[in-house]
Amino acid sequence: MIEGKQPRAAWVWQDQTGKYFLPIKYGRQTLELKKGMQAIECADLDHVEDALCTIRAMVWQGDFG
């Protein structure tokens, strides 16, 4: 986020309430994490970083298959 503007190819997006949403993609395809869930909701950018680290660990452990 630069000066409150979201870059065109942002990894996360923010709604009007200030929550961040992190979609997990495989190439250009957004993965459905569970039925009806297309993104991880995060309270702030620190939680986005934590979510990315968790997803990375899950992929390495083979839990994301």
pLDDT at position 53 is 94
Q: Which residues, in sequence order, are CB contacts of 7 under 8 Å at separation 6+?
A: 1
Please report, rounded to a whole number, the percentage of residues in the chain having pLDDT higher than 70: 85
Cα(20)–Cα(44) distance, integer angstroms: 6
Please report, rounded to a whole number, the percentage of residues in the chain having pLDDT higher than 90: 48
State pLDDT tens for residues 1-21: 556 666 666 788 888 898 999
Token reading at 41: 């909701």
Burial code of 39-62, b = ≥16 C-beta within 10 A, e = fewer?
A: bbebeeeeebeebbeebeeeeeee
Residue 55 in this model has a pLDDT that exceeds 80:
yes
What would the mean pLDDT of 44-63 be, rounded to a whole number? Answer: 92
Query: H helices of the chain, where?
Result: 45-61
pTM: 0.74
